[in-house]
Structure 1
């Protein structure tokens, strides 16, 4: 019963629901490759399922630009950041995230034949979409890595250099839990970067070089890590 309630809490929000759909989408993508254990007929069914779930996720992204714009307006020029570099990185990330959504909308309209584009133009918009996706993940990962470096590498060293600092066991446990969650975020976003770049055309880094089932594994692992973090967040919020 507790597990069912937790799952309902997970899918109650757009973010949680998207994470579940992501795992379903990419797990089906792994199974869509025919092999000795999966017949071609079944593989086609998994491919169709993966494709439909992916389209559903794209549809749900149609109004995601509004929260992104609001966040960017609140963030402003990043004067709350510790360094100017962090501020510039934050502003660039917000710009790329905002520009991604109209491009994604054009691709969605084209995929559903609402916007009529020839094959060449559609291909160009798909490439632009992949470029913005890759840039967005790269910039967000860069911010996460800088934050991780400051919180878990620089700060502990400063404390040790200062002769140590007496902390309670609960504080140490909280710090360790946060370090683990931050480490998972780094791994998850690194997987997302590998995935995003793989969607670029051949010749652009490792674009087009990763097999479909491997992309499915990468996407599934990222989704599972995302669900784990979200569940931990839900449990923590219920305790307070």
Structure 2
């Protein structure tokens, strides 16, 4: 039984590495772990420098991989549109603007990368990178707002369904019992969706802490969070990203 469980986890780990999203999150968490290790070393010391270099290279790896994200993002943005299918008021519009922020983010980051590589001369890498981070912060703020609105709507729906179960539970009718069982399953699904939305909210908050910290000095808490805390926020966010991707893979396998 234990060997079967281990085999399942190994297969899931391999699937994560084979998928773009899974591999990106694994590279991401690795970069934050090396950033944390770098922060433990003395400034300018071997540990600080060596792990710092590894962090930079892992981040550069992700930047290069994102050179090919424009078209998939454009397809996702076009497919989603203004989210008219969303049941909760405002969620669709927030998601649409979030998609737009990410859509602009990619070409801006490409220019920053080209400036960093000295391919584009006369372009200020720092300003373009600040633009990237600002767009990321805007997208995260929109996502957090969307998460909060969705959570409130989910909680309200769950309470209404639970109230309906309580009312119908008092009647001795087989048809009502069947309906009550169906409603109980709906509540379980709603609670699972709410749990996943909470994880997404926590992930976005952790990322926003870092995004604002990396903005030019003078804006909110920019430049005030220590490297070790920044790394831990990144590790938390990346772990949640890996967990969400793995959970979706398992869920998709069950539905096939």
| TM-score, scaled relative to structure 1 | 0.88
Q: Find the aligned partners of 1:228 and 1:29 in 2 and give their Cα distance.
A: 21
- The change in CA–CA distance for 1:4 and 1:157 in structure 2 (over 3 A counts) is closer
1:55-204 → structure 2 map (5 Å cutoff): 55-82=60-87, 85-117=90-122, 121-151=124-154, 153-160=155-162, 162=164, 164=166, 166-167=180-181, 172-204=187-219
* Most deviating of 83-92 and 211-220: 83-92
Please identify runs of 4+ aligned residues in structure 1 that moved more than 6 A: none
Aligned with 1:3 (options 9, 34, 53) = 9
Contact kept? 1:19, 1:227, Cα under 8 Å: yes
**Residue 227 of structure 2: aligned partner:** 212
Q: Find the aligned partners of 1:94 and 1:57 in 2 and give their Cα distance.
A: 19
Q: Which runs of 5+ in 2 are unaligned?
A: 1-6, 169-179
Contact kept? 1:34, 1:40, Cα under 8 Å: no
Number of equivalent positions: 236
Deviations 1:174-205 (A, max 9, x none): 44433322221111111111111111112111
Shift of 1:160: 4.5
- The change in CA–CA distance for 1:126 and 1:231 in structure 2 (over 3 A counts) is same
Q: Find the aligned partners of 2:165 and 2:9 in 1 and give their Cα distance.
A: 45
Contact kept? 2:162, 2:187, Cα under 8 Å: no
1:15-26 → structure 2 map (5 Å cutoff): 15-26=21-32
Q: Which runs of 5+ in 1 are unaligned?
A: none
| TM-score, scaled relative to structure 2 | 0.83
Larger relative contact order (CA 8 Å, sep ≥ 6):
1
Rg (Cα) greater in structure: 2
